Amino acid sequence: MAKNEKLAETMEFPPDTPQPNIYPLSWVRQTGKMEEVWASAQREQWDPMKLSWDTFDPSSYTWEEREAIAYWWTLLSVFDASAPPVFAQALIKTYEDHEEDPVRRCFFSVVRDEQNHEQMCGLAITRLLDHPDALTYVPKSELGKKLQRNARWLYYNGSRYWEGYKKAVPKYSLSVLFSSFLMGEIAAATIFHQMAKGCDEIVFQEAFKHIGRDEGRHMAICMALMERDYPNLDDEDRETITKQIRAGYLFLSAVLYEPPTEFWDLPSDFIEVQRQGEAVAREAGFGIPDSEMKLENWRRAMLNLKSVLDRYDTPFPAIPEVGITGKEVSDVDMDEIIPIF
Ligand SMILES: [Fe+2]
Ligand SMILES: [Fe+2]
């Protein structure tokens, strides 16, 4: 066939379109729960720039306090600043897979929410440090210097998983991806509600309330999809999920508890420095839960997730760190993880 020959001149209907193609021309609505979540996402939209910033005066804090609170936001950014592209990739997948219309909308809402969370991190850090970049900022206190070194190591570690994620997305079904998403969302929903209660600053209370609510919705999205897809999982998917949960635990522990050395490549005084920073921030009225609370929180999130997976006969990995027995997973590979926040 000549290059410029028009098929339309030779046949009445075009040949089949090769799949997957990016645009579904269908708007099937089956999962009612998704419609509800989308409706609340529309209702609960917020704008980080419109919070009560005028009540926030960073100069009422010492530089050490400002740097300690900014460190926590930086730690959160390591996860939340990667969330928009990570979920955008998942959103594209819902289009390629010709997912239901409400599923596509729900993923779109997650991208938007995570962008808000990232903006919030930036707004807080910029005001606290009077500088828009956590890594090029010149620390003023001794603690600030040590915290920035921590931040650099976190940043380096977090960067390692993007290539792996990009490879994982086309390889796995959405239902496998959800299991990793879900664990982040369960834990995130709890921690932000605690932070909302524990912070003195109005603007932080407002932000954490919104973020906690968003994360709760993300959790509901994952649950609805699992309910739909998990009854039909094959054994290979189940095995991948078990591995991903273990990987997710190791990855997310850095923000939800403390980074395990098994996975994170960090200096030996990292945790000690982080604890010092958190103590200063807490003292200044920024209510980060202490290690015991974090651990309990994390354990509860894991048990929650376990009860979901048990329902669908998917083995849960052993997580001895929080006292959960289960299937031993030893070969967690940085190249293959999907966890997100
Ligand atoms: Fe988030
Ligand atoms: Fe989220």
pLDDT in tens, 76-120: 998 888 889 989 999 999 999 999 999 999 999 999 999 999 999
Q: How far apart are CA 67 and CA 281, in angstroms?
A: 9
336-to-89, 160, 237 alpha-carbon distances in Å? 16, 11, 14
C-alpha of residue 118 to centroid of ligand 2, in Å = 11
Report how far ligand 2's centroid is from the alpha carbon of 211 (Å). 8
**CA 37 – ligand 1 centroid, Å:** 16
- State which fold the 31-44+59-336 domain adopts: Ribonucleotide Reductase, subunit A (1.10.620)
339 alpha carbon, closest ligand: 2
Where are the chain's structural domains?
31-44+59-336
Ligand nearest to the CA of 219: 2
Q: What is the mean pLDDT of residues 31-39?
A: 94
Question: Nearest bound ligand to CA 81?
Answer: 1
The Cα 167–Cα 305 span in angstroms is: 25
* Residue 308: band (very low, low, confident or very high) from pLDDT cuts 50, 70, 90: confident
CA-CA distance, 65 to 286, in Å (whole number)?
9
What is the whole-number distance in angstroms between the Cα of residue 93 and the centre of ligand 2? 17
| Nearby residues for ligand 2 (ion, Cβ within 5 Å) | 215, 218
Q: Would you give the DSSP letter of residue 316?
A: P
Ligand 2 centre to CA of 63 (Å) is 31
pLDDT reading at 224 higher than 70: yes
pTM: 0.91
Predicted local confidence at residue 335, as pLDDT: 62
CA distance 234 to 243: 15
> Which residue has tokens 């500088």?
131
Per the listing, tokens 């960073």 go with 58
Q: Which ligand is nearest to the CA of 82?
A: 1
